[in-house]
A = this chain, B = another copy of it.
Amino acid sequence: MTGRRGHGEFDLIARFFEPLSRAAPGAFALGNDGALLTLPESASLVVTKDLMVAGVHYPEGEEPSMLARRLLRVNLSDLAAMGASATAYALGLALPTDVDDDWVEAFAAGLAHDQEAYGVALIGGDTVATEGPAVLSLTAFGTVEGDACLTRSGAGAGDDVYVSGTIGDAALGLRAVRGELAALEPEDRAALAERFRLPEPRLALGAALVGLATCAIDVSDGLVADLGHLCAESGVAARVAADAAPLSDPARRALAAGEADIADLVTGGDDYELLFCAPPSARGGIDALGRRLGVALTRIGAIEPGQGVTVADATGQPLSLGRAGYTHF
């Protein structure tokens, strides 16, 4: 790990980041040009990289330990979508010059908390100074057995479409973070904000779906947009029922209070749930898997020949989604 923020940077790395690397001997205590990662025999590496920019992907002034945890979790979610077991990560921080030691210490504490929870270790990276907003880059590493990973491209006509957990909470949560959703109780606003700030990467689910699901993606752009990505990569269409979308109690209350409509929820991003397809013959296995993991796995529609995504309302008519739902495809 190299640091070029200034004279004190080597100190920062030694004090705050080196402890995060101790579980990984190939990290060389961050005192090397790079790291060495030895994979289990017959495993392949899965790599993903997501960036976050202050003021774009999170509000300026977000608590640094929460930010660190979100950065790590968002990347682990990509590993989950590929069915990989998470092993390690590298960190690239471009930090404003007015970031102080307390900020870095809290950021590292957030990483320490979550890397323990998810069984990963820091293996290297770079810290630099920027005159602009903070840019946080993380590269996450996982493994799969052989080349058996989930991709976006295996959906076939007749497959069921499933999503884990609940949908739309994070988009509502971002609004709660911004001080909106006045019609909701404070507890609901807090619960939704937590869903935005601290997504849950579905690693156990992703790994268990290898061999069961025909394709998978994590919901970052929104349920409809990400289903569009699955369809585009698989060369198929999808039809889902809006009222089948799994909603949390706070999200239901937001609907009832007129703070959002169903189109907002099925197009809202950042839930980091897994969206996947599987043939009808797998229904029993998927139900059993959901029970075993304690994760709701909801069948919301089906794959058809053609292209594009149709979201049907309660009467079976296509729901109007506005522009947001079609941004990305």
Enumerate chain A interface residues (CB-CB to B < 8 A): 2, 4, 7, 10, 26, 28, 31-39, 44-53, 55-57, 78-79, 81-82, 84, 90-94, 123-126, 128-133, 135, 137, 139-142, 144, 147, 149, 151-153, 217-218, 220, 229, 232-233, 327-329
Contact = CB atoms under 8 A, between A and B. Distances in A.
Contacts of A34: 46-48, 78-79, 81-82, 84, 140, 142
A84 B142 CA distance: 20
Contacts of A129: 53, 56
Given A34-B48, A45-B36, A49-B124, A92 B94 contact: no
A313 to B, nearest CB: 26
Contacts of A141: 47
Given A28-B153, A147-B36, A49 B126 contact: yes
B32 A152 contact: yes
Number of copies of this chain in the oligomer?
A: 2
B33 A81 contact: yes
Contact of A45 (B31, B45, B218, B233): B45
A33 B94 contact: no
Residue among A31, A57, A139, A149 having the largest count of chain B Cβ atoms under 10 Å: A139
A299 B27 CA distance: 29
A192 to B, nearest CB: 22
A47 B128 contact: no
A130 B54 CA distance: 8
B46 A128 contact: no
Contact of A49 (B56, B139, B328): B139
A135 B130 contact: yes
Given A4-B57, A36-B46, 14 more contacts: A7-B328, A26-B44, A28-B152, A31-B152, A34-B48, A34-B81, A34-B84, A35-B46, A36-B47, A39-B45, A45-B45, A48-B124, A51-B126, A126-B137
